[in-house]
């Protein structure tokens, strides 16, 4: 298997090997690189980007030698995943370019609807993170149409899950709950545990936002064994910590939420996801404020601004800086309201650009 042979080489050599591929490369070999990159999305973001880029280099080199339609399809798949991996780090312009390359390759190929559907899903996720929700919804319509064309039930379920996330990010928890419940009824947790916990996360989070934390707790409890099975997926566990803290906050269990938020922010910091770390710390500030621990609130707020500044984001850093002055003279109720509004304001901004983490494997 070509992918296994590449894994035996150090990361710095793989791009050179991909640019000079053996004659025996098949379209499936290129798809293997795409699939391997995608599989790392919850455990090794640096590796995900690395393997997506290597796969795109390999596809370009092979197509330059033989531009047959099946290889163009494989190239479209490789560049789609490259765009998706860059999107996860909020490298929006590079992701947009990569997805455009994929679209052109698919046009030169057979137009495989499965590859096309995933391309539109990735576009939808890109527009979601850029907070362009109308375009995100339109992209999912295109993806669903192609999934229906080939009878891909799993793809249709994934689209519903994505649309639920879109609604939640757009601060429409009622629609998010409705879509997530539909997706939950369709998913098979045994065969697709990652999708199942993702849907459960969206549903439970949105139920809290809808003012139904008890129901959210029940939803989480059902899928808790699945989260346990995915204990090696570091980002799944970080999201889990934040979710349980969010539920506890909704139930008024601030003392329980506090250590969970600290662990979540540490996990995001370890993964290099400083944006999520900063938002988790804002939630921590709310929990501390409710416990009348104002000195710790101020210390936590002071930690948030440098995180946003390190990412080079002006709006979020400005909000964090403003907080430092608004929190000091305020009552507990005013502090909680200020932090909550700040978090919502930040969430409506496009997700910020992130540096690419080191390759773990």
Residues 119 and 236 in one domain: no
The confidence score (pLDDT) of residue 326 equals 60
Does residue 348 lie within any of the structural domains?
Answer: yes
What per-residue confidence (pLDDT) applies to 347?
66
Helices of type H across 187-253: 193-209, 213-229, 234-250
3-state secondary structure 168-194: HHCCCHHHHHHHHHHHHHHCCCCCCHH
Q: What is the pLDDT of residue 129?
A: 84
Q: Look at residue 186 and tell me if it is in a domain.
A: no
pLDDT of residue 92: 83
Residue 43 in domain: yes
Is residue 128 a part of any domain in this protein?
Answer: yes
The number of residues in the chain equals 361
Q: In this predicted structure, what is the pLDDT of residue 252? A: 94
Residue with tokens 């890109």: 126
Tell me which of 134, 151, 168 is where a domain ends: 151
Q: Does residue 129 sit in the same domain as residue 244?
A: no
The reported pTM is 0.84
What is the extent of the structural domain holding 7? 1-151
The total domain count for the chain is: 2
Domain contains 204:
no
Gap between the Cα atoms of 100 and 106, Å rounded: 10
Boundary residue ending a domain (105, 124, 151) = 151
Residues 21 and 136 in one domain: yes
Which domain CATH number covers 23? 1.25.40
DSSP track, 308-324:
HHHTT-HHHHHHHHHHH
Query: Do 135 and 269 share a domain, yes or no?
Result: no
User: Please, which residues have CB within 8 angstroms of residue 224's CB and are 6 or more apart in sequence?
Assistant: none
Distance (Å, rounded) from C-alpha 170 to C-alpha 188? 27
Strand stretches in 88-160, DSSP E: none
| 163 falls within a domain | no
- Which element (helix H / strand E) includes 32? helix 27-39
Ramachandran region of residue 272, left (φ > 0), alpha (ψ -120 to 50) or beta?
Answer: left
Domain-ending residue, one of 135, 151, 167: 151
Indicate whether 130 and 266 sit together in one domain.
Answer: no
302 domain residue, yes or no:
yes
Q: Tens of pLDDT along the chain (361 residues)?
A: 999 999 999 999 999 999 999 999 999 999 999 999 999 998 888 899 999 999 999 999 999 998 899 999 999 999 999 999 998 887 888 999 999 999 999 999 999 999 999 999 999 999 988 888 889 989 999 999 999 999 999 999 999 999 999 998 888 999 999 999 999 999 999 899 999 999 999 999 999 999 999 999 999 999 999 999 999 999 999 999 999 999 999 999 999 999 999 999 999 888 877 778 888 998 998 899 889 888 888 888 788 777 777 666 565 566 666 665 565 556 667 777 777 766 766 666 676 666 666 666 5
Residue 287: give its domain's CATH number.
1.25.40.10
The span from the CA of 360 to the CA of 357, in Å, is 9
């Amino acid at each position: 298997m070509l992918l296994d042979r590449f894994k035996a080489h150090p990361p710095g050599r793989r791009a050179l090997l991909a640019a000079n591929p053996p004659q025996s490369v098949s379209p499936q070999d290129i798809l293997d690189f795409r699939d391997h990159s995608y599989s790392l999305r919850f455990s090794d973001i640096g590796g995900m980007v690395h393997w997506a880029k290597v796969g795109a280099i390999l596809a370009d080199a092979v197509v330059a030698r033989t531009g047959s339609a099946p290889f163009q399809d494989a190239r479209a798949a490789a560049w789609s995943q490259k765009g998706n991996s860059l999107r996860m780090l909020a490298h929006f312009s590079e992701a947009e370019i990569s997805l455009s390359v994929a679209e052109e390759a698919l046009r030169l190929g057979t137009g495989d609807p499965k590859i096309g559907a995933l391309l539109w899903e990735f576009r939808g996720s890109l527009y979601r993170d850029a907070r362009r929700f109308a375009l995100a919804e339109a992209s999912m319509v295109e993806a669903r149409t192609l999934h229906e064309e080939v009878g891909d039930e799993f793809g249709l379920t994934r689209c519903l899950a994505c649309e639920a996330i879109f609604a939640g990010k757009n601060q429409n928890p009622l629609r998010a709950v409705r879509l997530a419940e539909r997706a939950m009824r369709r998913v098979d947790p045994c065969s697709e545990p990652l999708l199942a916990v993702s849907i459960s996360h969206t549903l439970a989070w949105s139920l809290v936002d809808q003012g139904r934390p008890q129901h959210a707790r029940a939803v989480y409890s059902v899928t808790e064994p699945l989260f346990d099975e995915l204990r090696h997926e570091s980002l799944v566990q970080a999201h889990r910590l934040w979710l349980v803290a969010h539920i506890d906050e909704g139930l008024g269990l601030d003392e329980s939420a506090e250590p969970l938020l600290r662990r979540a922010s540490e996990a995001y910091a370890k993964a290099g996801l400083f944006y999520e770390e900063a938002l988790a710390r804002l939630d921590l500030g709310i929990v501390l404020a409710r416990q009348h621990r104002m000195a710790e609130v101020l210390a936590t707020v002071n930690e948030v601004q440098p995180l946003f500044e390190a990412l080079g984001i002006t709006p979020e850093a400005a909000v964090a800086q403003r907080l430092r002055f608004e929190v000091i003279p305020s009552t507990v109720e005013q502090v909680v309201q200020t932090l909550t509004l700040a978090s919502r304001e930040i969430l409506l901004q496009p997700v910020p650009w992130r540096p690419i983490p080191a390759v773990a494997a």
